[in-house]
Amino acid sequence: MHPMPPSLSLILGGARSGKSEFAENLTLRSGLKPLYLATAAAGDAEMRARIKIHRERRGREWITIEEEIDLAAAITDNALPGHMVMVDCLTLWLSNLMLAGRQVEAECGRLLEALNQSRGKVVLVSSEVGLGVVPENAAARAFRDYQGKLNQRLAQRAGYVVLMSAGLPLTLKQS
């Protein structure tokens, strides 16, 4: 029997680090009703193929809700007692916000407020994008900065934070 995860968990990592699978396993081990909150837009054939792989890996026990922009409302509506909501992923959500011309800082504030008010457990998947070279264009640097700031704010709030690398979890915080 695994211990019950805290109300908020944050799983970080780079591309193909194993963060989604780790978060899925954490969600399933909780014994709570698993709900997958997907932020990806199936804008091209490659993304449709990636989404298909994720869906097939999860199986039928999951409820899947797709929400590309209004993540705060989706968490408020679905993070209920007896449920564990897995959000995959915040990195795509941030890029969706930027592409839609939304006020990123305000939306991040709404997300944090929704998490503070959540009545269920939530697992967030997010990329650690600040480990590479400094992007050469302003939009990419702004994205990196928004992602880094959001990850910091969420890590402060979360009771459990894991960094995935090469499929291996490194626990950064456990309370």
Per-residue confidence (pLDDT) for residue 3, from 0 to 100: 59
Spatial distance between the Cα atoms of 151 and 153, rounded to a whole number of angstroms: 6
pLDDT band at 139 (very low <50, low <70, confident <90, very high): very high
pLDDT averaged over the chain? 92
Digit-coded pLDDT (tens) for 159-175: 999 999 999 999 999 98
Per-residue confidence (pLDDT) for residue 4, from 0 to 100: 65
Averaged pLDDT for residues 2-15 = 85
Residue 17 scores a pLDDT above 70: yes
Question: What is the SS3 assignment for the chain?
Answer: CCCCCCCEEEEEECCCCCHHHHHHHHHHHCCCEEEEEECCCCCCHHHHHHHHHHHHHHCCCCEEEECCCCHHHHHHHHCCCCEEEEEECHHHHHHHHHHCCCCHHHHHHHHHHHHHHCCCEEEEEEECCCCCCCCCCHHHHHHHHHHHHHHHHHHHHCCEEEEEECCEEEEEEEC
Spatial distance between the Cα atoms of 39 and 70, rounded to a whole number of angstroms: 9
Q: Which residue has the higher pLDDT, 58 or 18?
A: 18
Per-residue confidence (pLDDT) for residue 135, from 0 to 100: 87
Domains and CATH numbers, the chain: 8-174 (3.40.50.300)
Spatial distance between the Cα atoms of 79 and 86, rounded to a whole number of angstroms: 9
Digit-coded pLDDT (tens) for 33-48: 999 999 988 778 887 7
Q: Angle at which helices 90-99 and 104-117 pack, to 10 degrees? A: 140
Positions annotated as catalytic residues are 54
Q: Give the predicted TM-score (pTM) of the model.
A: 0.93
Spatial distance between the Cα atoms of 15 and 29, rounded to a whole number of angstroms: 24
Residue 127 scores a pLDDT above 50: yes
Per-residue confidence (pLDDT) for residue 1, from 0 to 100: 39
Residue 113 scores a pLDDT above 50: yes
First-last CA distance in the chain? 18
